[in-house]
C-alpha cells in the first residue's frame, strides 16, 4: 500500500501543477516564491479544471488512461511558465507557525486514522466508488453501466462526474485501492486549510485565523465525512475557494480573478447537484453587490454564471438525456400541487438545517464566529463584502430548503440522512471568509498572497 500511496501523491502533484498553470496564466503569482505562496488555491483550481475537462472528455468518448491523465495535467500546467518567467522574487508571506500548527496536528492525526480505516460508508460503496471503478475498469462511460438504475440509485444518475473522475484517475496511479479514497478526500481538506492560511494578510487577526483553521480540521463532522469518502467535502472546498476569489474580484475588478472564480465554480457544479445551488447563490450575490458600482460588472457576473453551468454541468446532462432514459427512482418535483402538499416541509427543513449549521457537535463554533466577524466588518465599514457574505449564505440556505420542500422522500428520513452533509459548503464558505471579515483594522482586506498579480 505504500507504493500505492506514492501513486496518489504523484496524481495530486500533477493536479497542483495543473492549477499553477491556470493561476500563473491569470497572473496571480510570479517567481518561485510566489508559486509557493498559493499552493492551496493551485490545487483546488487544478482539480476543478481537471475534473471539468475529464467530464467533457468522458462524454466525448475518451478513456482517460494514465497517459491521458498526465497529458491533460501537463496541458493545463503550461501557463505556469508565464508566472515563472515574470521575473522578480515574487511574494510569499508565511504567517506565524503557531497559527497553523494546531490545525496541522489534527490534519496529521486525521491522515493516520484514514490510512487504517476501511471504506465503510454505504453511499461510497453503492454509488461513488462504483462510478469511479466503472470509469477506470471500463475505460470510460459504458452506457449500460452508467445508466443502471440498480447501481446508481435511480434518480442519482444525474450526479455529475468530477469527483468520480478524480477517483478514477487515482486508480490509474494506484490500482483499485479503495482505502486510499479516504486520503484523496483528505487532500481536498488539506488544500483548503492551506489556502485559508496562505490567504492571510499582515493586518489579519492571527487568533481568529488560528481558531478557524483548528475548527475546520478538528470539527467532528469533518472527521466523519472524510472517513465516508463522499463528495461533500470536495464540493465545499471548491465553493469556499470560489467565494474567496469572488471577494477579491469585488475589490479589484480584475477579470483574471473572476476567471478563477468561474473555474472553481464550474468544478463545484461538476461535483454534485447541490453545487448548482451554491454557485447560483454565489454569483447572484456577486451580481447584486456589483450593481450599484458598475452595471456592466454585474452583467459580467451573471454571464459568468451561465458559462459556469454550461461548462460544468451541461455536457453531462446532455449525455444523461441521450443515454439515460427515464430515471427509475423518485425525483424532486416543483409542481404547484407538490409544493402546496409539502408546505409544512418548509419550516421543518429550515429549522433542521439551521440546527445542523449551529450544532457544536458537528461544526463546533464556525458559523457563530462568522456571525461575529460579520458584525466586526460592518463596524469597519466594509459593508459591501458583508452584504456579499450574507446574501450568498441566505440564498444557499433557501436553495437547500427548496430542495427538501420538493423532495419525494419522507422528509424526516431525507433530512436525517443528508442534512448534516449538505450544509458543509455553507460552513466552509463561512470559515473561509471569517478571517478576512474579522480584520477590523482596515476598511479593505489585505493583499492575500494567492491573489497578488503582477500589477501589485
pLDDT at 155: 52
DSSP per position, 337-384: HHHHHTTTHHHHHHHHHHHHHH-HHHHTTHHHHHHHHHHHHHHTT-HH
Q: Which of residues 2 and 437 earns the better pLDDT score?
A: 437
Nearest to 360 by CA among 215, 210, 208: 215
Q: What is the pLDDT of residue 451?
A: 43
The answer to the question of residue 97 being in a domain is: yes
Residue 456 resides in a domain: no
Domains of the chain: total? 1
Per-residue model confidence (pLDDT) at position 448:
41
Inter-CA distances, 78 with 22, 36, 107, 254, Å? 8, 17, 31, 22
Dump pLDDT digits (tens) for 51-105. 999 999 999 999 999 999 999 999 999 998 888 877 554 445 567 888 999 999 9
pLDDT of residue 15: 97
| Residue 203 binned pLDDT confidence (cut-offs 50, 70, 90) | low
CA distance 309 to 302: 11
User: Can you say whether the dihedral through the CA atoms of 355, 360, 366, 368 is positive or negative?
Assistant: positive
State which H helix or E strand residue 448 sits in.
none
d(CA 115, CA 201): 34
pLDDT tier at 291, thresholds 50, 70, 90: confident
Q: pLDDT for 221-248, tens place per residue?
A: 999 999 999 999 999 999 999 999 999 9
Query: What's the mean pLDDT when you consider all of the chain?
Result: 88
Q: Is residue 454 part of a domain?
A: no
Residue 2, H or E segment: helix 2-25
- Containing 251, the helix (H) or strand (E) segment is helix 232-252
Task: For cell 427509475, name the residue.
Answer: 328
Q: What is the dihedral of CA 7, 220, 245, 99, to 10 degrees?
A: -90
* Dihedral (CA of 283, 287, 289, 293) sign: positive
Query: Can you give the pLDDT at residue 87?
Result: 54
Flag whether 269 is in a domain: yes
Domain presence at residue 300: yes
Give the whole-angstrom CA distance, residue 220 versus residue 234.
17
The crossing angle, in degrees rounded to 10, of helices 39-59 and 162-174 is: 100
pLDDT score for 93:
57
Q: Would 156 be classed as within a structural domain?
A: yes
Q: Give a yes or no: residue 452 inside a domain.
A: no
Q: What is the pLDDT of residues 129-171, one digit of tens each?
A: 999 999 999 999 988 888 776 555 455 678 899 999 999 999 9
Structural domain contains residue 147: yes
State how far the Cα of 160 lies from the Cα of 191, in Å rounded to an integer.
22
The whole domain housing 264 covers 2-326+335-444
Which cell numbers hold the place of 262?
468561474
List the one residue out of 218, 123, 193, 110 whose CA is nearest residue 164. 123
- Per-residue model confidence as pLDDT tens digits over 28-51: 877 777 788 889 999 999 999 999
pLDDT at 68: 96
pLDDT for 297 equals: 87
> In sequence order, what DSSP letters do the residues of 309-326 get, joined into one string?
HHHHTHHHHHHHHHHT-S
**Which among 140, 231, 244 has a CA at the least distance from the CA of 189?**
231
Q: Which pLDDT tens digit goes with each residue over 325-380?
A: 655 556 677 788 888 889 999 999 999 999 999 999 999 999 999 999 999 888 87
Name the burial class of residue 117, with classes exposed (0-12), middle (13-18) and buried (19+) by CB atoms within 10 angstroms of its CB.
Answer: middle
Residue 313 has pLDDT above 90, yes or no: yes
C-alpha to C-alpha distance for 240 and 170, rounded to whole angstroms: 24
**177 CA to centre of own chain:** 24
Band of pLDDT at residue 27, cut at 50, 70 and 90: confident
Check pLDDT > 70 for residue 385. Answer: yes
Q: What is the mean pLDDT of residues 389-413?
A: 95
Which band of pLDDT confidence, cut at 50, 70 and 90, is reported for residue 449?
very low
- Chain CA centroid to CA 18, Å: 16
The pLDDT of residue 358 = 96
Q: Are 195 and 450 in contact (CB under 8 A)?
A: yes
Cβ contact 160:313 at 8 Å: yes
Task: Read off the C-alpha cell for 50.
Answer: 481537471
Amino acid at each position: 500500500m505504500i507504493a500505492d500511496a506514492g501513486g496518489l501523491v504523484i496524481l495530486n502533484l500533477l493536479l497542483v501543477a495543473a492549477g499553477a498553470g491556470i493561476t500563473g496564466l491569470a497572473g496571480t503569482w510570479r517567481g518561485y516564491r510566489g508559486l509557493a505562496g498559493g499552493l492551496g488555491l493551485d490545487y483546488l483550481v487544478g482539480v476543478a479544471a481537471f475534473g471539468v475537462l475529464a467530464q467533457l472528455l468522458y462524454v466525448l468518448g475518451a478513456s482517460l488512461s494514465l497517459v491521458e491523465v498526465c497529458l491533460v495535467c501537463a496541458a493545463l500546467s503550461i501557463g505556469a511558465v508565464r508566472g515563472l518567467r515574470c521575473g522578480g522574487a515574487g511574494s510569499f508571506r508565511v504567517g506565524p507557525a503557531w497559527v497553523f500548527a494546531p490545525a496541522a496536528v489534527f490534519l496529521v492525526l486525521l491522515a493516520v486514522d484514514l490510512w487504517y480505516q476501511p471504506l465503510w460508508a454505504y453511499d461510497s460503496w453503492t454509488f461513488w466508488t462504483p462510478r469511479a471503478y466503472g470509469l477506470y475498469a471500463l475505460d470510460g462511460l459504458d452506457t449500460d453501466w452508467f445508466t443502471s438504475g440498480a447501481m446508481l440509485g435511480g434518480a442519482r444518475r444525474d450526479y455529475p462526474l468530477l469527483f468520480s473522475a478524480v477517483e478514477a484517475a487515482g486508480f490509474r496511479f494506484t490500482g483499485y485501492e479503495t482505502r486510499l479514497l479516504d486520503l484523496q478526500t483528505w487532500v481536498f481538506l488539506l488544500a483548503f486549510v492551506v489556502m485559508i492560511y496562505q490567504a492571510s494578510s499582515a493586518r489579519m487577526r492571527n487568533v481568529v485565523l488560528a481558531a478557524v483553521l483548528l475548527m475546520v480540521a478538528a470539527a467532528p463532522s469533518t472527521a466523519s465525512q472524510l472517513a465516508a469518502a463522499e463528495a461533500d467535502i470536495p464540493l465545499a472546498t471548491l465553493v469556499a475557494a470560489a467565494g474567496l476569489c469572488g471577494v477579491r474580484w469585488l475589490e479589484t475588478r480584475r477579470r483574471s480573478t473572476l476567471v478563477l472564480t468561474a473555474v472553481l465554480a464550474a468544478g463545484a457544479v461538476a461535483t454534485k447537484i447541490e453545487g448548482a445551488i451554491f454557485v447560483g447563490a454565489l454569483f447572484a450575490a456577486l451580481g447584486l453587490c456589483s450593481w450599484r458600482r458598475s452595471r456592466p460588472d454585474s452583467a459580467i457576473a451573471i454571464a459568468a454564471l451561465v458559462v459556469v453551468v454550461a461548462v460544468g454541468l451541461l455536457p453531462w446532462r446532455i449525455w444523461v438525456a441521450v443515454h439515460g432514459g427515464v430515471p427509475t427512482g423518485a425525483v424532486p418535483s416543483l409542481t404547484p400541487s407538490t409544493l402546496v402538499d409539502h408546505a409544512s416541509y418548509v419550516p421543518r427543513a429550515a429549522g433542521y438545517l439551521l440546527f445542523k449549521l449551529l450544532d457544536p457537535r458537528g461544526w463546533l463554533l464556525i458559523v457563530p464566529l462568522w456571525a461575529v466577524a460579520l458584525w466586526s466588518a460592518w463596524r469597519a465599514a466594509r459593508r459591501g463584502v458583508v452584504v456579499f457574505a450574507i446574501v450568498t449564505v441566505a440564498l444557499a440556505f433557501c436553495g437547500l430548503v427548496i430542495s427538501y420542500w420538493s423532495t419525494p422522500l419522507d422528509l424526516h428520513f431525507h433530512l436525517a440522512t443528508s442534512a448534516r452533509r449538505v450544509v458543509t459548503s455553507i460552513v466552509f464558505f463561512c470559515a473561509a471568509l471569517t478571517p478576512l471579515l474579522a480584520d477590523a483594522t482596515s476598511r479593505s482586506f489585505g493583499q492575500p498572497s494567492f491573489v497578488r498579480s503582477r500589477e501589485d
